[in-house]
């Protein structure tokens, strides 16, 4: 691990090295320049000792003393302060402390939250009322997307056992560091590094500098359409906009202090590392990376690295091996910037949702019907009809990740500017109502509808929340005609996220990715607390009756194993092997019951419609029961 120690002079430079803990601030007041701090500018490693030295340089200032406190990040260990605070030593956290839980096989993804980042605050006081305050960020490891494409000069940590380096590119002197665990590798030259674990499973790492990787992804026959769409994407243009790309602008569009520490996420590369990224190349060219300059005034190499371009997410170097490509769908790729609580809490909030664990059961990944809504690759394949980008069979579950809902390559999508929400076609059941301008269904809901609306051709209704919300999906048991109800909440501004917008507390941004809908979301319109709903209880009671009726062979409208479907919470109803016969009143009644049962939020989404479904099912079940009794 590089242990280069540099002189950090201004707060912006410190922040640029490791990313923003808070919003970019105006440049440090000149007085703070008097407090010079020597601290590691590059990651120091997990469970590694480091030291910081400070000195006051301005004439006329007494020596005073410095008090230190950790203001962010994982707790540093063995913190020792000496020489009136002018000397500090400590030890970074272990990987297990920084990133609890099992490690994935291969390149371990590391975000600002999990890479053992900590921020120390130095407060100098001369005892006569003069104070200087500085923040000093420390990191254990570089951020990592978890992909096999990586930058040279960026140490990677490997999950798995028994790693050994089979071969490296010509001229490489890189060796695999097995201690301290986990194993790590610091690619030093461009090329492929072939590794294998104890079982012989191979991993090919592709390394290059960012600035030496061609940006020809958009050539014809490759990704021309994506490149065109991405040209105007808010990700692509973030630095250009922030610097004020508009001719005649005299100040940065994102305000004073920009880009400062924002460079870690508004440009390509990891500040502080010799990776050919924006700050590295700026240093090579003698350009102050964090100095505000208009986009047009930047040298070409910096413009090619400015913004969140292709390489910022996909990594540098040649195309990854086929088996490694699906990894780019992991939330870990986005986490290198969007997992930095408390300011960026998108990933933390998302991890609390069911979507984050949607493909935990192996069947949800292997069964294509399930994969459509339980895996990111399956969902993407279902909405754009492209080739199925199914993960390799041995891939670990990744959940429904950012890329399922966000079209990161696009520039015109639904929702608020920059949200990049996908707008897939509405499912057939909801096509009419979503296309009807009188219904005013917010387009931001589009991305939720495909997986929260049952397929009317399916054997069982599944995930029916959106269908109930819009009063669709039910069948009249007697006639088989659609049961259409009022969509009482269809006009909610934001659609689904009008209510499903809560998440963990204390996050400045991204908490809404928890998608929770606490009762308080109802109070703006329903001042009186809603009475407890008996819908779920009623639905389950009716289902028990239906089971008894259907289990009577005399009825003949359902297979014998229908009675096996027990709603004990161990699995959703739609995961059972039950096949409803919607050609019979009893089968259609069951369909209506399961629509309600499949939606735990039925009472909130559309209680009148849910009641109507139960009311329609009840007489059909009763009649079937009577017929069955009379035949006996």
Instruction: Spell out the alpha helix ranges (H) of 175-306.
Output: 224-231, 238-243, 263-266, 278-285, 300-305
State in angstroms the smallest separation of the CB of 259 from other proteins: 14
Binding other proteins (rule: CB under 8 A), the pick from 204, 245, 253, 484 is: 245
Among 247, 387, 493, 525, binds other proteins (CB under 8 A): 247
**Closer by beta carbon to other proteins, 207 or else 371:** 207
Nearer to other proteins, 82 or 247 (CB): 247
Q: Are 548 and 618 in contact (CB under 8 A)?
A: no
d(CA 226, CA 168): 32
303 binds other proteins (CB under 8 A): yes
Shortest distance in whole angstroms from residue 233 CB to other proteins: 8
Residue 547: both structure tokens together: 């089971």
Q: Per rule CB under 8 A, is residue 284 in the interface with other proteins?
A: yes
Footprint on residues 459-478 left by other proteins (CB under 8 A): none
412: helix, coil or strand? coil
Q: Please, which residue, 215 or 486, has the CB nearer to other proteins?
A: 215
351's CB contacts (< 8 A; 6+ apart) are none
Which part of the chain contacts other proteins (CB under 8 A), choosing from 21-29, 215-223, 555-563, 616-624? 215-223
Q: To the nearest whole angstrom, how small is the minimum distance from the Cβ of residue 313 to other proteins? A: 9
Look-up: residue for tokens 């300011």?
Answer: 343
Site string for other proteins, 148-177 (x = CB under 8 A): ------------------------------
DSSP lists the bridge partners of residue 120 as 70, 136
**Among 400, 379, 444, which residue's Cα sits nearest to residue 418?**
444
Of 407 and 499, the one with the shorter C-beta distance to other proteins is 407
- Binding segment for other proteins among 117-125, 155-163, 292-300, 589-597 (CB under 8 A)? 292-300
- Measured between alpha carbons, how far is 411 from 552 in angstroms, rounded to an integer? 57
Residue 395 makes CB contacts below 8 A (sequence gap 6+) with 326, 327, 365
* DSSP line for 554-577: TT-SS-GGGGG---SSSS-GGGS-
* Interface residue with other proteins, options 21, 115, 206, 209 (CB under 8 A): 209
Q: Rounded to whole angstroms, how far apart are CA atoms 539 and 621?
A: 12
Question: Quick one: 141 or 240, whose CB is closer to other proteins?
Answer: 240
**Is 211 one of the binding residues for other proteins (CB under 8 A)?**
yes
Confirm or reject binding of residue 301 to other proteins (CB under 8 A): yes
- For residues 577 and 557, is the Cβ–Cβ distance under 8 A? no
Instruction: Say how far apart CA 602 and CA 607 lie, in whole Å.
Output: 6
Q: Which stretch binds other proteins (CB under 8 A): 46-54, 204-212, 330-338, 451-459?
A: 204-212
The answer to the question of residue 406 lying near other proteins (CB under 8 A) is no
Select from 58, 215, 432, 629 the one that contacts other proteins (CB under 8 A). Answer: 215
Asked whether the beta carbons of 496 and 421 are under 8 A apart, the reply is no
The site that binds other proteins (CB under 8 A) totals a number of residues, namely 49
Q: Which of 199, 300, 438, 632 binds other proteins (CB under 8 A)?
A: 300
307 belongs to the binding site for other proteins (CB under 8 A): yes
Q: How far is the CB of 295 from other proteins (least distance, A)?
A: 6
Q: Verify binding: residue 83, other proteins, rule CB under 8 A.
A: no
User: Which part of the chain contacts other proteins (CB under 8 A), choosing from 21-29, 206-214, 321-329, 564-572?
Assistant: 206-214
Strands 118-125 and 106-107: unpaired
**Residues 449 and 493 sit within 8 Å (Cβ to Cβ):** no
Residues in Cβ contact with 252 at an 8 Å cutoff, skipping those fewer than 6 apart: 242, 243, 244, 258, 259, 292
Task: Locate 91 and state its tokens.
Answer: 């030890």
Among 237, 375, 401, 446, binds other proteins (CB under 8 A): 237
What angle (nearest 5°) sits at the alpha carbon of residue 409, between those of residues 219 and 243? 100
Question: What is the distance between the alpha carbons of residues 276 and 269, in angstroms, rounded to a whole number?
Answer: 7
Within 217-236, the residues that bind other proteins by CB under 8 A are 217-221, 223-228, 230-232, 236
Give Rg (Cα) of the chain. Answer: 29
| Binders in 253-282 for other proteins, by CB under 8 A | 281
**What are the residues binding other proteins (CB under 8 A)?**
190, 208-209, 211-212, 214-221, 223-228, 230-232, 236-237, 239-241, 245, 247, 281, 284-286, 295-301, 303-304, 306-312
């Amino acid at each position: 691990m590089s242990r280069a120690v540099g002189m950090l002079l201004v707060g912006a430079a410190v922040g640029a090295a490791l990313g923003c803990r808070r919003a970019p601030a105006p440049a440090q007041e000149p007085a703070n320049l008097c407090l010079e701090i020597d601290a590691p500018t590059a990651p120091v490693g997990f469970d590694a000792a480091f030291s910081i030295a400070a000195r006051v340089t301005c004439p006329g200032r007494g020596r005073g003393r410095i008090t230190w406190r950790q203001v962010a990040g994982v707790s540093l260990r063995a913190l020792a302060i000496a020489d009136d605070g002018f000397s500090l030593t400590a030890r970074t956290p272990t990987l297990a402390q920084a990133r609890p839980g099992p490690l994935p096989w291969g390149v371990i993804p590391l975000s600002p939250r999990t890479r053992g980042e900590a921020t120390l605050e130095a407060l100098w006081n001369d005892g006569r009322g003069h104070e200087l305050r500085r923040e000093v960020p420390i990191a254990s490891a570089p951020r990592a997307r978890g992909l096999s494409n990586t930058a040279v000069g960026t140490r990677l940590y490997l999950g798995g056992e028994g790693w050994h380096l089979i071969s490296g590119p010509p001229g490489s002197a890189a060796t695999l560091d097995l201690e301290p665990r986990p194993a790590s590798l610091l690619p030093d030259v461009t090329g492929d590094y072939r590794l294998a674990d104890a079982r012989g499973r191979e991993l090919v790492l592709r390394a290059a500098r960012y600035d030496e990787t061609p940006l020809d992804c958009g050539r014809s026959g490759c990704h021309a359409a994506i490149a065109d769409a991405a040209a105007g994407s808010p990700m692509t243009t973030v630095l250009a906009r922030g610097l004020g790309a508009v001719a005649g602008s005299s100040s940065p569009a994102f305000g004073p202090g920009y880009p400062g520490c924002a460079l870690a996420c508004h440009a390509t590369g990891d500040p502080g590392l010799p990776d050919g990224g924006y700050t590295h190349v700026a240093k090579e060219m003698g350009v102050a990376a964090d100095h505000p300059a208009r986009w047009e005034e930047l040298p070409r190499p910096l413009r090619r690295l400015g913004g969140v371009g292709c390489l910022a997410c996909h990594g540098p170097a040649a195309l990854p091996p086929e088996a490694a490509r699906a990894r780019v769908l992991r939330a870990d790729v986005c986490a290198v910037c969007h997992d930095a609580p408390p300011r960026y809490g998108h990933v933390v909030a998302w991890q609390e949702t069911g979507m984050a664990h949607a493909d935990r059961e192996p069947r949800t990944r292997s069964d294509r019907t399930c994969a459509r809504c339980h895996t990111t690759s399956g969902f993407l394949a279902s909405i754009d009809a492209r080739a199925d980008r199914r993960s390799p069979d041995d891939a670990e579950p990744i959940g429904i990740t950012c890329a399922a809902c966000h079209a990161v390559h696009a520039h015109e999508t639904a929702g608020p500017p920059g949200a990049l929400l996908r707008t897939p076609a509405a499912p057939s059941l909801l096509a009419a109502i979503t296309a009807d301008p009188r219904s005013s269904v917010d387009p931001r809901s589009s991305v939720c509808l495909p997986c929260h609306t049952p397929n009317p051709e399916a054997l069982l209704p599944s995930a029916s929340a959106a269908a109930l919300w819009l009063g669709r999906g039910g069948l009249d048991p007697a006639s088989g005609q659609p049961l259409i109800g009022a969509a009482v909440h269809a006009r909610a501004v934001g659609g689904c996220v009008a209510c499903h917008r809560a998440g963990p507390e204390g996050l400045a941004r991204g908490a809404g990715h928890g998608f929770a809908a606490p009762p308080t979301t109802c109070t703006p319109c329903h001042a009186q607390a809603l009475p407890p709903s008996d819908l779920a209880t009623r639905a389950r009671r009716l289902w028990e009756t239906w089971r008894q009726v259907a289990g009577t062979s005399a009825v003949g409208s359902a297979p014998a194993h229908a009675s096996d479907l027990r709603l004990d919470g161990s699995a959703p109803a739609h995961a059972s092997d039950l096949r409803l016969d919607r050609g019979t009143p009893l089968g259609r009644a069951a369909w209506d019951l399961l629509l309600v049962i499949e939606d735990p939020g039925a009472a909130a989404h559309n209680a009148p419609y849910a009641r109507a479904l139960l009311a329609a099912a009840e007489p059909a079940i009763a009649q079937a029961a009577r017929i069955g009794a009379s035949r006996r």
